[in-house]
Amino acid sequence: MTPRIRLAFLLAVAACAPRNQVGEDNPDAALLLGSDASIDGSLTCACDASSCGSRICGRSECGFPCGECEPGEYCFTGSQCLAGAGPGTPCIDAFGDRVWEGDRGFRACPTDANAQQQCTCTGGGTNAWASCDTACQEICTHVAAGITCGAPGCDAGEVCCVPTADINARSCTATSCPPSNYTRACDGPEDCGTGEKCCGGDNLWTASCVPSTVSCGPVEQYCHTSADCDAAKPYCCPGPVEDMRSCRATAAATCT
The 10s digit of each residue's pLDDT in 124-133 is 998 999 999 9
Using alpha carbons, list the distances in angstroms from residue 106 to 18, 61, 102, 121, 142: 17, 9, 13, 10, 16
Provide long-range contacts, Cβ within 8 A and 24+ apart, for 232-238: 237/96, 238/96, 238/97
In a domain, 180, yes or no: yes
In a domain, 137, yes or no: no
pLDDT along the chain (256 residues), means of 10: 36 30 28 30 56 85 79 86 89 84 92 89 93 87 69 80 89 92 92 92 90 91 87 87 86 76
In terms of C-beta density within 10 A (0-12 exposed, 13-18 middle, 19 or more buried), how is residue 38 classed?
middle
In a domain, 104, yes or no: no
Residue 194 DSSP code: T
Name the percent of the chain lying above pLDDT 70: 78
In a domain, 147, yes or no: no
Asked if 16 and 29 count as a contact pair (C-beta separation under 8 A), the reply is yes
Segments forming the whole domain that contains residue 184: 159-248
Per-residue pLDDT, 46: 62
In a domain, 168, yes or no: yes
Per-residue pLDDT, 133: 94
Asked if 23 and 55 count as a contact pair (C-beta separation under 8 A), the reply is no
Smallest CA-to-CA distance from 236 within 5, 59, 2, 6 is with 6
Per-residue pLDDT, 103: 94
Domain count, the chain: 1
Using alpha carbons, list the distances in angstroms from residue 18 to 40, 54, 114, 138, 147: 11, 27, 11, 10, 19
Q: Supply the mean pLDDT for the chain.
A: 77
C-alpha to C-alpha distance for 51 and 123, rounded to whole angstroms: 25
Residues sharing a CB contact under 8 Å with residue 60, sequence separation 6 or more, in sequence order:
47, 51, 52, 53, 66
In a domain, 218, yes or no: yes
At residue 84, φ and ψ (nearest 5 deg) are: 90, -165
The tens digit of pLDDT for each residue in 98-109 reads 899 999 999 989
Per-residue pLDDT, 129: 96
C-alpha to C-alpha distance for 216 and 255, rounded to whole angstroms: 19
Whole-structure pTM over 0.85, yes or no? Answer: no
Q: Please list the alpha-helical segments (H only) found in the chain.
A: none
In a domain, 229, yes or no: yes
Per-residue pLDDT, 145: 66
C-alpha to C-alpha distance for 30 and 75, rounded to whole angstroms: 33
In a domain, 70, yes or no: no
